[in-house]
Amino acid sequence: MSGMNQKMRIWHRYLGFYLVGIMTVYAVSGTVLIFRRTDTFKQEKTFEKILSPNLTQEKLANELSLKGLKIKEQQGDLLYFEEGVYNSVTGATKYTEKGYPWVLDKLINLHKATTNSPIYWLNIFFGASLLFFVISSFWMFLPSTDVFRKGLYFSLAGIIMTLAILFL
């Protein structure tokens, strides 16, 4: 086996061991994110707050950080919306939010980190590491072996499947 093949195998192996934790985070959070438009994995929490009286629908939505809040019904001083009720005279508000349990929320926030997050560099490192795994996997076996040739067929099948999913 050539020196380059041996080095790639070693780097591939130890980087794989090193990234076990973060790969687990991305596997779990990625799977959970598939269900993000449903209530799967989410828990309901009830909140009670006293807000300023006479808030408009827009200001109420901002105060509660509820996107798309719409007043469904008004009965006297009470304004009912999907998530709860707001008393426009006293400011008393009771509402529910659905969110992920603390641990899942942390995993998902890591998965969705942007440049506004102090850990975005971890996502860049992880993406580069995955790209290295893709490239280094072609150095795992000698090109003259059956395993390598079969690996190329599986790679081609995976590329075709990915292109089909993306563009069909």
Domain range annotation of the chain: 3-37+102-142, 43-99
Query: Token match 């006479």: residue?
Result: 54
What pLDDT does residue 1 have? 65
Q: Residue 74 in 3-state DSSP?
A: strand
The first and second tokens of residue 65, run together, are 């950080």
What pLDDT does residue 2 have? 77
Share of the chain above pLDDT 90, in %: 88
Please check whether residue 48 is in contact with residue 94, taking contact to mean a CB–CB distance below 8 angstroms: yes
What pLDDT does residue 140 have? 87
Question: 131-149 as b/e, with b when 16 or more CB fall inside 10 Å?
Answer: eeeeebeebebeeeeeeee
Return the half-sphere exposure (C-beta side, CA atoms, 13 A cut-off) of residue 157.
6
What pLDDT does residue 3 have? 86
Task: State which residues of the chain have pLDDT below 50.
Answer: none
